[in-house]
Amino acid sequence: MTDNSATAETANQADRPSVLFVCVHNAGRSQMAAGYLEHLAQGAIEVRSAGSEPADKINPSAVEAMLEEGIDIRDQKPKILTTQAVKDSDVVITMGCGDTCPIFPGKRYEDWKLEDPAGKGVDSVRPIRDEIRARIETLISELLPTR
């Protein structure tokens, strides 16, 4: 008898929708969005994030705000936006920062107009975080309507 669980798991992963979050520095908004989507979708959606000019590290106020939600993004590193990341994603969400992404047919593109948390304390980042969570919950309901 063969074990088909590995084959089924690979097939399930191939069927997962994928989302790419993009902002300039990949240190705040896009990282919070990726953290929420990973946490709330529980692996049912493939998650990527990137920036056109990645920072050296994640915004400490974003990290603190997410820790308050029980989501740890401290181990994340800002990454450069690549054409391949866009090609590999079903949904590309820019975070209100005017980034230009490569456009490919058949992709869903959205621009979320969100305040930039750069240089802000955690008290100012919480409302941004909360708006991101609400948008992520809507996105999950759209991408996984049977959940």
CA atoms of 133 and 10, how far apart (whole Å): 29
Q: Which one of 19, 22, 23, 62 is the catalytic residue?
A: 23
Q: Which one of 62, 101, 114, 136 is the catalytic residue?
A: 101
Task: Determine whether 59 is an active site residue.
Answer: no
Task: Determine whether 143 is an active site residue.
Answer: no
The closest of 45, 44, 33 to 131, measured between CA atoms, is: 33
Give, in degrees to the nearest 5, the angle at Cα 121 between 46 and 59.
Answer: 35
Q: Which one of 34, 58, 97, 143 is the catalytic residue?
A: 97
Task: Determine whether 4 is an active site residue.
Answer: no
What CA dihedral angle connects 67, 146, 93 and 84, to 10 degrees? 100
User: Which of the residues are catalytic?
Assistant: 23, 97, 101
